[in-house]
Structure 1
Amino acid sequence: MKNLRSQIPFILIFIFFSSGCHTLLDTDRNLLIQQADHLEKKGRYHWERRINPDHAKKAQIFLSTANELKPEAGNLAILYSQACYFNGLYIEQVPEKKDSLFLEGYHIAKGIVYHSKSFQKGFNAVEDDSLIRELRGIEALEKPFVPALYWWVANLGRYLINKPVIERLNYRDLLETIIHKILTLDPTYHYGGGYRMLGTVYIRLPGIELSKSKQYFDQAILTFPNYLGTKVLLAQYYYTKAEDREHFHRELQEVLSADPAQIPEIMPENLFEQGIAKQLLEQESSLFE
């Protein structure tokens, strides 16, 4: 993997310096665009095969470099942010590296939003502290920005999920605003992702009734019962906090017995979620001591 990462800069150096270090001409720019397209194509090729950890890592590397070459390509940036999330959640095992991937995905998706005219219009409409202006910018967004909002909050949420309570509380207003905006614009996006995230946010914050979290998990499962990640989160965070061992066990057994290919596009995610479910069941006794 290091060899792959080290080879990509040589391609870019050749393109930049093949014109004798002069200012890039139209031909050089076209070469850059072609190279970016080639790297994106390779990234997408590996992404489709992400069930294999090597392919997942290669997808993230190629998409990263392609995104550097054409950062204005929104769909590419969104896929790169998603690849960071996938590798951080399922592939990388070192906590610090997981955090680094989530933060990278967070910054990429946030950048898409911040560079939009609609966000800037809302952001600049008020003179207040930076958080209030940020929330106003988010509230001004329209449906095309749902993917960027989702991967912004998905990466940030995963980064925060096991951080100290005070750090999670500091982001509560931002998380709630983004998720409610997603639910307003497209509640079905990423298999009921807004409901799933709100359920997770509320179960990880103090002073909130457990039932409030449960209703959002239930809505996500009702909307897309074959997205196994929702059931794993429900068991891992809700049922452990509620000290409900019976439902914890039952939910995870349902995950293991499910067909991961019910939604072909997310079969890799479902297979990895089944792996997490198996690990949680192995830890069941210690989780309910």
Structure 2
Amino acid sequence: MLAKKSLTLGVFLCLTLILSQFAFAEDTAALMGKADQLYLQRGQEGKAVEAARIYETILKAEPGNTEAAWKKARALFWVGGHSPEEKKLEIYSQAVESAKQAIKNDPKSAPAHFWLGASYGFYGNAKGVMESLSLIDPIKEEMAAVMELDPTYAHGGPDRVLGRLYFKVPGLFGGDNDLAMEHLEKAVKAGPNYFLNHIYLAEVYLDEEMNDKAKGLLQKVLAGPPSEGMEPEYVDWKAAAQRMLGKL
């Protein structure tokens, strides 16, 4: 009789565990969906911050969740780009750590490597070019990983990041406008409606006094439309293109 009761209790506990795990998976999916919806509304104040908080909630309960980790990094990347200068360094630092967590969970995650490299770049920009030269090689390494895993990720993302890197870094430390143009021209082909590619390439053209080429790219930005889902970024891109054209 005792053995029968122990068996019944064991079955009950197993069922309880299975049901609790199922419920947790449902909760995680619901939270992920809510955070994703908030991120889609990132153009509205506070939405990306709230998305990052929810991704963090998921990670506290499930540290091995690669998707939540890189999406948190992506959300923080947006937040950093729309924050006061004195807050950028801390926010990009958090994005770096979240992307590192994603890579630890899954070394083959192209999004994780991309957002780490991109966050390194903007973290370095917030620190100042001369103070962040040690990040040049890590950024190249992360983009090399993305190139291997998914070269077109983020609308030509790895070429965009590398092109920007070669443009911003002083020539003494490896900066090279020819390499910048090579990568950014590839990015434009990979993401013809992801207009940050065009803006970055136009900046290099202007630096090389290739004004007609720069003007053509900036006019494409103004003509639109952006890639689907990039409407919040397009507000910034269009404003940047207008400023640049105004100086020509």
TM-score by length of 1: 0.69
Distance 1:37 1:184 in 2: 29
Matched, 1:63 2:55: yes
Q: Does the Cα contact within 8 Å between 1:168 and 1:205 map onto a contact in 2?
A: no
**Partner residue in 2 for 1:264:** 228
Q: Does the Cα contact within 8 Å between 2:67 and 2:102 map onto a contact in 1?
A: no
Q: Does the Cα contact within 8 Å between 2:64 and 2:105 map onto a contact in 1?
A: no
Q: Does the Cα contact within 8 Å between 2:73 and 2:99 map onto a contact in 1?
A: yes
- Correspondent of 1:185 among 141, 149, 155: 149
Q: Does the Cα contact within 8 Å between 1:161 and 1:204 map onto a contact in 2?
A: no
**Partner residue in 2 for 1:20:** none
Q: Larger Cα Rg: Structure 1 or Structure 2?
A: 2
Q: Does the Cα contact within 8 Å between 2:100 and 2:116 map onto a contact in 1?
A: yes
- Correspondent of 2:69 among 55, 77, 80: 77
Structure 1 regions of 5+ residues with no counterpart?
Answer: 1-24, 117-140
- Correspondent of 1:45 among 26, 37, 41: 37
Amino acid aligned to 2:89: D
**Partner residue in 2 for 1:145:** 109
Structure 2 regions of 5+ residues with no counterpart?
Answer: 1-15
Change (3 A) 1:235 1:68: farther
Q: Deviations over 1:40-78 (max 9, x none)?
A: 332122122223233333222322333333221111111
Matched position secondary structure for 1:53: coil
**Partner residue in 1 for 2:167:** 203
Change (3 A) 1:111 1:226: same
Amino acid aligned to 2:192: P
Larger mean Cα displacement after TM superposition, 102-111 or 29-38: 29-38
Of all paired residues, the percent bearing the same amino acid is 24
- In the TM superposition, residue 156 of structure 1 has moved relative to its aligned partner by 1.0
- In the TM superposition, residue 170 of structure 1 has moved relative to its aligned partner by 1.3
- Correspondent of 1:214 among 181, 187, 209: 181
Amino acid aligned to 2:41: R
**Partner residue in 2 for 1:226:** 193
Larger mean Cα displacement after TM superposition, 172-181 or 273-282: 273-282
How many equivalent pairs are there? 229
Q: Does the Cα contact within 8 Å between 1:81 and 1:104 map onto a contact in 2?
A: yes
Matched, 1:242 2:208: yes
Distance 1:34 1:49 in 2: 23
Distance 1:216 1:146 in 2: 18
**Partner residue in 1 for 2:218:** 252
Change (3 A) 1:66 1:278: farther
Q: Deviations over 1:133-183 (max 9, x none)?
A: xxxxxxxx5xx3211100101111112135433333212221112212211
**Partner residue in 2 for 1:107:** 97
Matched position secondary structure for 1:149: helix
Matched position secondary structure for 1:161: helix
Change (3 A) 1:43 1:157: same
Distance 2:89 2:202 in 1: 23
Distance 2:25 2:154 in 1: 30
Amino acid aligned to 2:218: L
Matched position secondary structure for 2:43: coil
Larger mean Cα displacement after TM superposition, 250-259 or 273-282: 273-282
Q: Does the Cα contact within 8 Å between 1:33 and 1:69 map onto a contact in 2?
A: no
Q: Deviations over 1:229-254 (max 9, x none)?
A: 11122234x23533444444442232
Matched position secondary structure for 1:265: coil
Matched position secondary structure for 1:264: coil
